[in-house]
Amino acid sequence: MRWRLRGFAVAAAAACLLQACASAPPPRPPPPDPDAELVAALTLTLKLDAVQQKRTRELLKEMADRDDAIHAGWAKGKRVRAEEILISHGQFEKDFFVMLTSEQKQIFIQKRTRLMSRVH
């Protein structure tokens, strides 16, 4: 009788394992939000306060809207001009820079200069 109980327990455990294996895998986490990652990196580097973080998110949304409009125009046959995207991103940088404190501006310029020297 013990063998039957053990056999039943093993069979029940095996059935549970098979059912667990057969169930769908857990859903994948959503991909990281690049805007949130950028705001976090800027906050860490420049010590942005809550108001600056909120404004940065707004500026990123505005830039994305401009970029979407540019891409939509291209998709409709408008002449592709890559400088339109550069202008849009430059507008973000200009608007972002304006809201920084003088100390944050210095840090931003230093980091940007270092980054640009690595690229070239």
What is the Cα–Cα distance from 55 to 32, expressed in whole angstroms? 20
pLDDT in tens, 15-74: 544 454 556 678 888 888 889 999 999 999 999 999 999 999 999 999 999 999 999 999
Domain that holds residue 115: 34-119
Return the pLDDT at 93. Answer: 95
Asked if the structure places residue 92 within a domain, the reply is: yes
**Best-predicted range by mean pLDDT among 4-8, 19-23, 79-83, 115-119?**
79-83
Asked if the structure places residue 20 within a domain, the reply is: no
Given a contact cutoff of 8 angstroms between Cβ atoms, the answer to whether 46 and 108 are in contact is: yes
What is the Cα–Cα distance from 87 to 74, expressed in whole angstroms? 16
Asked if the structure places residue 69 within a domain, the reply is: yes
- Residue 75 — pLDDT band, cuts 50, 70, 90? very high
Asked if the structure places residue 53 within a domain, the reply is: yes
Phi, psi of 85 (to 5 degrees): -70, -40
Give how many domains the chain has, as a whole number: 1
Return the pLDDT at 101. Answer: 97
pLDDT in tens, 97-108: 999 999 999 999
Asked if the structure places residue 9 within a domain, the reply is: no
Given a contact cutoff of 8 angstroms between Cβ atoms, the answer to whether 74 and 99 are in contact is: no
Full-model pTM: 0.71
Asked if the structure places residue 80 within a domain, the reply is: yes
What is the Cα–Cα distance from 110 to 100, expressed in whole angstroms? 14
Asked if the structure places residue 3 within a domain, the reply is: no
Q: Which of 10-14, 42-46, 91-95 has the lowest mean pLDDT?
A: 10-14
Asked if the structure places residue 11 within a domain, the reply is: no
